[in-house]
Amino acid sequence: MTEPNVARAPAGAAADSTAVPPEICEAIRAGHDIALISHVTPDADALACLGALWLALPELGKYPHLVLPEGTVSRQLQYLVRFAGLQTAHSDDVRNCDLIVALDTAKDKRLNEHGHVAALTSIPILNIDHHATNTRFGRWNWIVGHASSTSELVYDVLRALGCQITPTIATLLYAGIHTDTQGFSLSNTSAYSLKVGHELALAGARVAEVCERMHRSRSRGEFELLSTVYRNTRVSPDGRLAWSSATYQEITATGCQAADIDAQVEIPRAIEGIAVAILFTEGEPGKVRMNFRGERGVPVLELATKFGGGGHHASAGARMSGTLQEVMDRILPAALEFVAGLELADPA
Ligand SMILES: [Mn+2]
């Protein structure tokens, strides 16, 4: 017996790209000196978008200027910076730009520019992002909530502009998509993101190297920090909520910083049957970051926005002042109530 030949696109997964709006390409074509900025604590998606545009724009006769303040890239992701040979611009060059491209950044407050280019306010912004909560702070905004990553959108932009996808650009964008989809394993993995992954592999993306550097290249300190997050993981009596935490003390004792731990909400998330996972990290004394993840379509964005955060439907974040314990005492009762109210299909 053969299986009936039925296409099984998961609900909500776009089969094809959303066409790049013409004004997005026109804004780039009209620019001359172009500042490229992403979000604070840049992840692989942010760095990939910065790097891909920085490498591609000279082909169109543009002068790209990378805004990536010293010390903002985690140890593990410095691989991408070295691999692409990325060089940060001087602030004078940035001030003289006639266009800013903001990448993967939901709010202008989150732009990773450390205030050294405060004069940027007069420069028009082109805003390319996949966060559902993007505030559309640009003069031009291309916000595609169903895209797996901003790297997927930058790939579409480069194709629309007729830029060559070199093996280095392909490797960067592959790293961005691979990381935002957790290795093509999350619900944001669409038929289209797999298609782009395929095209990037054909263009020479270093698939195995990206996986090794993103998933199997922990320093001893990072490994120790992960074991702390495992040890601190707790599960609610109803089995629906799992959470973990790391205090400032626990993070710095391993020689790590908060940026090294941002994605580790995947640890409590790995427990079978949970609906929501949360990671609380105290990156600086008295400043707590929360990462929320929802399984089986659970809209954790609702929970995150209650506490001033944002992000995506099933992957969101928020920040709060206070000690780790104070913040957990505030958030956990609300999270327990949230999961208790969910109507969940039983996991198979
Ligand atoms: Mn992203």
Q: What is the pLDDT along the chain (348 residues), one digit of tens a residue?
A: 333 332 333 434 444 556 999 999 999 999 999 999 999 889 999 999 999 999 999 999 999 999 998 888 988 899 999 999 999 998 888 889 999 999 999 998 888 886 655 556 789 999 999 998 999 999 999 999 999 999 999 999 999 999 999 999 999 999 999 999 999 999 899 999 999 999 999 999 999 999 999 888 889 999 999 999 999 999 999 999 999 999 999 999 999 987 777 778 999 999 999 999 999 999 999 999 999 999 998 999 999 999 999 988 999 999 999 999 999 999 999 999 999 999 887 655
pLDDT of residue 1: 33
Residue that finishes a domain, picked among 182, 214, 246: 214
In whole angstroms, what is the distance from residue 145 CA to residue 87 CA?
Answer: 30
d(CA 283, CA 262): 10
Distance 245 CA to ligand 1 centre (A): 23
Cα 49 to averaged position of ligand 1 atoms, centre (Å): 9
Residues with CB under 5 A from ligand 1 (ion): 45, 104, 149-150, 180
Residue 278 Cα to ligand 1 middle (Å): 18
**Same domain membership, residue 317 and residue 261:** yes
Query: How many angstroms separate the alpha carbon of residue 168 from the centre of ligand 1?
Result: 19
Ligand 1 centre distance from Cα of residue 149 (Å):
5
Residue type, 96: N
Query: Which residues have C-beta within 8 Å of that of residue 13, sequence separation ≥ 6?
Result: 146, 187, 189, 190, 191, 192
Total structural domains within the chain: 2
Query: What's residue 115's pLDDT?
Result: 63
Please, what sign has the CA dihedral across residues 196, 202, 203, 206? positive
Pair of tokens at residue 111 = 């732009």
Instruction: Give the residue numbers spanning the domain of 145.
Output: 22-214
CA of 76 to the centre of ligand 1 (A): 17
Predicted local distance difference test score (pLDDT) of residue 250: 95
* Structural domain contains residue 11: no
Whether residue 127 contacts residue 99, with contact meaning beta carbons closer than 8 Å, is answered with: no
Take residue 343 and report the two structure tokens written for it: 């109507």
Say whether both 139 and 200 belong to one domain: yes
Compute the distance between CA of residue 346 and CA of residue 295 in angstroms, rounded to an integer. Answer: 12
The reported pLDDT for the residue numbered 117 is 57
The CA 150 to ligand 1 mean position distance, Å, reads 5
Q: How far is the CA of 176 from the centre of ligand 1 (A)?
A: 7
pLDDT for 119 equals: 59
Question: What is the model's pLDDT at position 7?
Answer: 31
Q: What is the CATH number of the domain that holds 330?
A: 3.10.310.30
**Residues shown for the chain:** 348
Quote the ligand 1 centre to 12 CA distance (angstroms). 18
Return the H-helix or E-strand segment holding 14: none
Say what the pLDDT of residue 346 is: 62
328 lies in a domain? Answer: yes
* Among 332, 334, 310, 324, CA closest to 143: 310
**Looking at the DSSP assignment, which residues form a beta bridge with residue 54?**
none
Cα 45 to middle of ligand 1, angstroms = 5
The alpha carbon of 120 and the centre of ligand 1 are apart by a number of angstroms equal to 23
C-alpha 199 – ligand 1 centre gap (Å)? 19
For residues 178 and 299, membership in a common domain is answered with: no
Going from the Cα of 173 to the center of ligand 1, the distance in angstroms, rounded, reads 11
61 sits in the region (left: phi over 0; alpha: psi -120 to 50; else beta) called left
Same domain, 210 and 149: yes
Centre of ligand 1 from the C-alpha of residue 115, in Å: 22
